[in-house]
Every structure is written in C-alpha cells, then in structure tokens.
Structure 1
C-alpha cells in the first residue's frame, strides 16, 4: 500500500515543497514543531532509514545537509535540529527543525501557520537550497 509520502511524491496529496531532485523530496511538515519544520524523504518507499542501501543513505544525508543549510539561512534560529523517529509514516523521513530552545524538538508541541505562510516559507527556503 502506498504511504502518505508516496502519495505526496506522486502529486496525489498536496505539499509545500522546498526542494526536490530525482531521488529525494523536502517539504514543510503541516504540523510543525517550529516555523520551518521540514521533512526530507527518499522517493523510493523504504520504511526504516537503516534499511536504505548504503549509497542511498549517504545521498539522503547529503540532501538533508543542503536543505538544512538553506533552512538556517531562511528561518531565524540558533541551529537546525535533526530527528529520525519513523513512527508516524512507514516511509523513511528526516525531520529538520529550526531550534531556539529544546522545546522545539518536542513533537507534542505544534505551531499554527496559515496556508499563505506555508507557501511563502516553502518558496523562501527553496530559493536557498543549493542542489
């Protein structure tokens, strides 16, 4: 069965895309811990990050790094945190979360954003991604 993320990749479910290449996609989390919370995923549906082939894992981390650098240039924060939890959707995904305090990594906290704020932020981050 196709995961939610596979449906986003196929364009069946809308997303606020930040960056994309032939292997990976980055988009804003619609329930962000902090403004600018991004998810980076491989386009190949693999449940657990440790099940990725070594080369795919390394390429994913290279993609994540580039998105993180763009995120830090775009959103005011002390640093960008990274988390791999994997319980929400059975498709490998890396959370990039702008941090100003440890509470920004608490997945029970969410910030509200309007549709226009999501669109504007996705576009702004995307302009800073150097793929």
Structure 2
C-alpha cells in the first residue's frame, strides 16, 4: 500500500484534530478545507474506494457524518450543510462534511483558480488553519456528537 495520511493518523504517526472515534471510524477536522468548520469521516480499515466498503460500514461512516453535520449546523449556523464523496485526494475512502454559505460551495469555489486560461481546483489558495484552531473546532464538535442509533 502506498503512503496514506489517514492510516498514519489512525496509527498515531500523524497529528490530527480528532472529533470522533470508535472501533470502526474516525472523524477529523481536515487540514485543507474551504471552511475550517468541516469534517472528514473515514473507516479505520484502509479501503481506497467508498463503493468497496461493506454496506454496513458505509452506512456507519455516513451516519457519523450526518450527526456531525447537525452539530456543525447548530454551532456555526451556515446557510446549508453539504455532504458527499468525491473519490479523489487521499486514496482512502472518506466522507466529506462541510458548511455551505454560497451555492458554489458544493464544488469548493474557494479552491478554484485560473491558470493558462483554464479553471483549475487545488489547495494553493486555501489558508491552512492553525493546529490550535483545528483543535478548538474538534473540541466544540466532540462535545455532543450523537452516537448512531441513539437518536
């Protein structure tokens, strides 16, 4: 397996601001996100494609993401919440949970830039929040994350 930052986080070899963790999944504040009040939920088992997850694990990942989206909405009050799997970036299945304050936030408009006359997307224009800021967001969201099936 090639290097995987999510596996490194799970193994404790890479620092992360953890929001939620159980035996199957972990949720963190992402390092690169259009809004720092976002989350990534991923299985602890290294599986590249989300569609290769066993159905019960995929449902658990999405359930934790749903609970986090409600928490983000309540604490930060964005216009809407976005959730989804785009399948690129880190070769480890993950579910994105992000606030939306503009209709184009679903395509991460803050990641768009023009190069050679073409619209491109990347992290180069995104500020990276401090570890302290990410830890603060994780603490706030960790406070009352609903556990799946305890609604």
Q: TM-score, normalised by structure 2?
A: 0.79
Gaps of 5+ in 2: 113-125
Counterpart in 2 of 1:114? Answer: 130
Counterpart in 1 of 2:76? Answer: 75
TM-align CA RMSD: 1.6
Other structure's SS at 1:105 match: helix
Q: Is the 8 A contact 1:8 1:14 kept in 2?
A: yes
Q: Distance in 1 between matches of 2:134 and 2:64?
A: 21
Gaps of 5+ in 1: none
Q: Is the 8 A contact 2:9 2:15 kept in 1?
A: yes
1:128 to 124, 144, 149: 144
Q: Distance in 1 between matches of 2:14 and 2:127?
A: 22
Ranked by relative contact order (alpha carbons within 8 Å, sequence separation 6 or more), the top structure is 1
Stretches of 4+ aligned residues off by more than 3 angstroms: none
Counterpart in 2 of 1:55? Answer: 56
Are residue 7 (structure 1) and residue 8 (structure 2) matched?
yes
Larger Rg: 2
Q: Distance in 1 between matches of 2:98 and 2:88?
A: 17
Worse-superposed segment, 37-46 or 58-67:
58-67
Deviations 1:48-99 (A, max 9, x none): 1110111111222212111211121222201210121121111000111111
Deviations 1:86-123 (A, max 9, x none): 21111000111111112333341634423221111110
